Structures are given as structure tokens and as C-alpha cells.
Structure 1
Amino acid sequence: MNGWIEVFIVALLPLTALFAVLQTQAYSALVLRGMMGVVAVLLYTVLGAPDVALTEALVGTLLTVILYAVTVRSTQVVRVGLLADRAAGVAIKQLCKTHKLSMRKVVFPGEKELVEALKAGRVDAVCVEFGLAPALHPLFPPEQPADRLITVLAEHGKWHERKLNALSSEDEPIVRLRYRERGGIR
């Protein structure tokens, strides 16, 4: 009977690994990674290696899952640059809601600091009224109303651009920052 338990546990290990790899949600994959560690602990215990099982439980399961959780949580944040007490755009809010991202608002005192942070990649996007950011005017057609809210993505925001364009409307144009040699601002 003991042989069947070992075979069952050995069969569970690649099965949980396969399910973890096939997950599209980060937290679901994280839970399955923890389950894979627990199955490995069971296998080492059944095979008579309690020291290896304890090491796997502490390092392979607990520490790894905690580090992955911190990493996943920190990468699911969209930093949005704003001027003064302005609100973020509807498309950015909808993107965060749809994809379960956190939006961290970063307020800047002036347009120069806002554009510098965007170019340096310290923010993922800026939402600003067209008239308040003359440095961003070359990115948009000149007939924009001054009070129209515009969203400019940082150069590294290519994956945001597709999703935001699908969520945006004509009232809130979205463009990705490109450097001067590619037709953007410097």
C-alpha cells in the first residue's frame, strides 16, 4: 500500500507544475506553486527524508511564495502623473479596474517636472488637460480644446497603449511618448 501513495504523490508533482504554468492569473499560479511545494514536502516525507522535507517547506515553499507574492504585487501598479489636484482619465481608471491593477497617483507641481518624470520612466502615464501642458502639444493635432483631458504614456508603456486605445473614447485621446528622433518630444 505504501507504494501506491508514493506513485500518487509523484504523479501529483508534474500535474501541479503543469497547472501552475498554464495559469493566466498571477495569484492563481502563485497558489499552485505553493501546492507544488507542499506535494514535494509530502514526497520527501514519505520517502524518509524529513530534513529535506523541512528545507523544502521553509525555503522552497514558504520563502519562494512570499518573494513571488511581493514581486507580483509590486508589478501590478500603474503610476499616473498628475498636475496639482487633477483627476486621472477614465481610460486609465477602466484599465486598472479591468486588469486588477493598482493606480498610484503621483502629483507634480508643474509641467516641466511632469514631462521629465514621463521621459525618465518614473511614471507610466500622465493625464493632463491639453492647455496645461504645452510641451506635449507636438504629440497631438493642433485643434485640441484647451480643457480636454489627454493621456500620454511613457515610452515603456507599449502594452498599455493597445489596451487603453480599446477602452478610450474620442473625448480622451491617448498617445505614447516617443523621443525626438522618432517624432516625439525631447
Structure 2
Amino acid sequence: MTQPTIYDAQIADLHGKPLDLAQFRGAATLVVNVASRCGNTPQYAALEELHERYSGRGFSVLGVPCNQFGGQEPGTADEIADFCSATYGVTFPMTEKVEVNGDGRHPLYRALTDEPDAEGYSGDIRWNFEKFLVGPDGAIRARFSPQTQPDSPEVVAAVESALPSS
């Protein structure tokens, strides 16, 4: 039996319409649990910049709102969309708000959390803005802590190495 990939998870976009994760097959994707009222929220700017820089080369950021860490994403879908657009000019896809830990952990995160980061940590998401880089084949290539900036050399290098060959 094969291990489920992110493409097997059923999820809706931020506005409640089905979001087919298979659209990311063949592209490198940085999956990030996001929140609007977190000390890490300014990472939205670097995520958008990364998305814009590499989207023409088969890359996307996928934002996944979550309210499990200090209630830092309390807004409605419209409030989240308005905040991200007005404050950070976010153009990358965003999913519905989900749980990333616990009994209600979304299947997308069940497919991600066994992956260890560079320090060997695997398991539960530690805080908002934890990042998973998924390769074009659906394999998880890297996991980055919430404190790792999206424009850090290690994230940029990992994204560049995961881009599909042209």
C-alpha cells in the first residue's frame, strides 16, 4: 500500500469551494500553516515574494490558515482574504481554515507531519508558519521551523533544487 500524498487530501479553498490539490502535481509547493495575528505574520511578505519569484518556474506557496496556536487566526474566510490581500498583497492559493494537530488534524497534515526537519524534529506542528516543501512528485523534500524565514538561504536553496526541470 502506498503512503498517501498531499494530492490525496480533500480540502476547500478559503471561500469554501473544493481545491484540487492535484493541481500542484508536477510543481514544487511550499505548504505553510498561516495566521493573521502572530509574531510570524510578517512572513506573508516573504512568502508572497517567493511565490512571485518562482511561480513561472513551477512553484507555488499554499497557505493553510489555522487557529490552533493562541487563537491567532480567529477571522472568517472573508476577513482572512481581505487581510492577506490588503496587508501583504497575497496572490498564492489559500485553503479553508483547518486543524493541523490533534484528533481533528486535517488529512493534508497527516500526510506531512512525519517528515523531520533538519534538526530531526517530526510530529506535531509547533506553531504558525511551519513550512513543508513538496516536490513535483509529491515527495516531501524539506520541513522548516516556524522561525525559519521564507527568504532564508536554506529555504531558497531547497525551493530551487525542487523546481521541476524544464
TM-score by length of 2: 0.27
TM-score by length of 1: 0.25
Larger Rg: 1
Bigger relative CO (Cα 8 Å, ≥ 6 apart): 2
Which one has a larger percent helix, Structure 1 or Structure 2?
A: 1
